[in-house]
Amino acid sequence: MTAISPWNYPTLLCTPPWKIEGVFPTETVLPLEPEAYAVIQEGKTWRVTIKHSGEVIYEGPGPVVVVGSPAPL
């Protein structure tokens, strides 16, 4: 029997901090599992797309990572 957990371990898009936000990376919650996204670096530009649709959800400075949250939100 599988226990139903009330905790949600979301997928996070981690991007560089913006000058007005301080020194910590910016984290944005994404709706799909981490494996559903592709992270591509082309020169100084980083792009994150949804693999099955090709939709670009981030394009800008890096480094950028898509990870599963280590803690519930």
Domain boundaries, the chain: 11-68
> What is the pTM assigned to this prediction?
0.78
Q: Residue ranges of the chain with pLDDT lower than 50?
A: 1-3
What pLDDT score was predicted for residue 16? 85
Give the residue among 52, 29, 26, 51 at the shortest CA–CA distance from 40. Answer: 51
Tokens of 16: 């560089």
How much of the chain, in percent, has pLDDT values that exceed 70?
A: 79
Contact by Cβ (8 Å): 64, 48:
yes
Instruction: Give per-residue pLDDT as tens, 53-64.
Output: 999 999 998 899
What pLDDT score was predicted for residue 7? 63
d(CA 23, CA 33): 27
What pLDDT score was predicted for residue 2? 47
